[in-house]
Amino acid sequence: MERRPAAAVNVGGVVIGGGQPIVIQSMTSSKTDEVGKTLAQVKRLAAAGCQLVRVAVPDRGAAKALDTLVGASPVPLIADIHFDHELALAALEAGVSKLRINPGTMSLKALNSVVARASRLGVPLRVGVNSGSIHRDYQHLPRVEALVKSALYYCQVIADLGWDELVVSLKSSSVTETYLATEQFAGQSLYPLHLGVTEAGTIGSSTIKSAIGIGGLLLRGIGDTLRVSVTGPPESEIPIALGILRALGLRRGIDIISCPTCGRSGYDVAAVAQEVEDRLGSLELPLKIAVMGCVVNGPGEAKSADFGIAFGPGGGALFKKGQVVAKMANDELLYALLQLIDEEARQRN
């Protein structure tokens, strides 16, 4: 699928859009003015693979904390502002790398002052429209149309004020609405897009909703940055985000393909696949590893894998780039596979 062309927006050195790899972001859940706790959370997020971190700025205390946080954070910070444009101005002074505003919660005059300051400082904005804050002129419309028109309207207002370093999101707690609104907006604009499903729920629920909504758009070539939203610790969002990108070949990493253990298999494939995943999950080599339980799909699927093993009734086979490189007892396959990958990792380093 060809990627939708989008303008490049530089967020403190991390580029969103412009054909760059898709950027993973998250948001702290600590109270922002508890600087120690917030900074610890930012560092945990960064260590997990989060490239941009957003912090809520609901009051003066939070805005003041930004002075310290911006200097100490290992990744660029984004300030999340609603209602109060004075807080947006304070965040800009503190040196944040991007502002997320929900223009539906501000007067045009307030928006004007924020845009003027951001433009002068060269700080990009995210225009975040969600179904809870549709522009009042569009509230009578069907939800998807209302989201698209609100987003287009606010982008135009800001562009008319002379600033177009914008990233745009259209979010709803309905996966289908989020998908349709984002797709429709994508066809009418060149601004880079931030993907996410709001209020996606607990880890299990969010994994499903986010994978469908975010993944469904990425499959159409749409999206430049993403956030998986989980009701829970923000660090838990990053493996899901990485999983979505890896599943689509958009991020390096081990991709383990393993078959359901059907009646054809005489071997505990699930346990072996889990062990491979546990041992190699954090490896950043872009390798496809096949763990197959039988000869029906085994050799065929293993052809597309870099390395693979297939268990068989009388013994199994070890594959490398679609070729059988050794036959051996089933019990020896896992060890042989791990050894092969270990050699590969050393050669590439």
| Site residues (CB under 8 A) for its own copies, limited to 293-312 | 296-301, 303-304
The contact pattern for its own copies, residues 74-113, with x = CB under 8 A and - = no contact, is ------x-xx------------------x--x--------
Binding segment for its own copies among 8-16, 150-158, 166-174, 339-347 (CB under 8 A)?
A: 166-174
10 binding its own copies? (CB under 8 A): no
Mind giving me the DSSP string for 79-132? EEE-S-HHHHHHHHHHT-SEEEE-GGGS-HHHHHHHHHHHHHHT--EEEEEETT
Q: Pick from 21, 142, 162, 260: which binds its own copies (CB under 8 A)?
A: 260
What is the DSSP-derived secondary structure letter of residue 53?
A: E
The contact pattern for its own copies, residues 174-193, with x = CB under 8 A and - = no contact, is xxx--xx-------------
Binding segment for its own copies among 44-52, 93-101, 126-134, 319-327 (CB under 8 A)?
A: 126-134
202 binding its own copies? (CB under 8 A): yes
CB of 218 to its own copies, least distance (A): 8
Residue 127 near residue 168 (C-beta atoms within 8 A): yes
Distances from the Cα of 225 to the Cαs of 63, 96, 239, 248, in angstroms?
A: 25, 18, 15, 14
Q: Is the dihedral of CA 333, 337, 340, 346 positive or negative?
A: negative
Q: Which residues in 218-237 contact its own copies (CB under 8 A)?
A: 218-219, 229-232, 234, 237
Find how far residue 161's CA is from the centre of its chain: 30
What is the DSSP-derived secondary structure letter of residue 57?
A: -
Name the residue with tokens 């505990």.
268
CB of 211 to its own copies, least distance (A): 4
CB of 251 to its own copies, least distance (A): 12
Q: Which residues in 309-348 contact its own copies (CB under 8 A)?
A: none
For 285, counting Cβ atoms within 10 Å of its Cβ (0-12 exposed, 13-18 middle, 19+ buried), the class is middle
CB of 301 to its own copies, least distance (A): 5
269 binding its own copies? (CB under 8 A): yes
CB of 164 to its own copies, least distance (A): 26
**Residue 31, φ and ψ in degrees, nearest 5:** -75, 125
Buried b (16+ CB within 10 A) or exposed e, 223-251: bbbbbbbbeeebbbbbbbbbbbbbeeebb
- Select 163 or 213, whichever has its Cβ closest to its own copies: 213
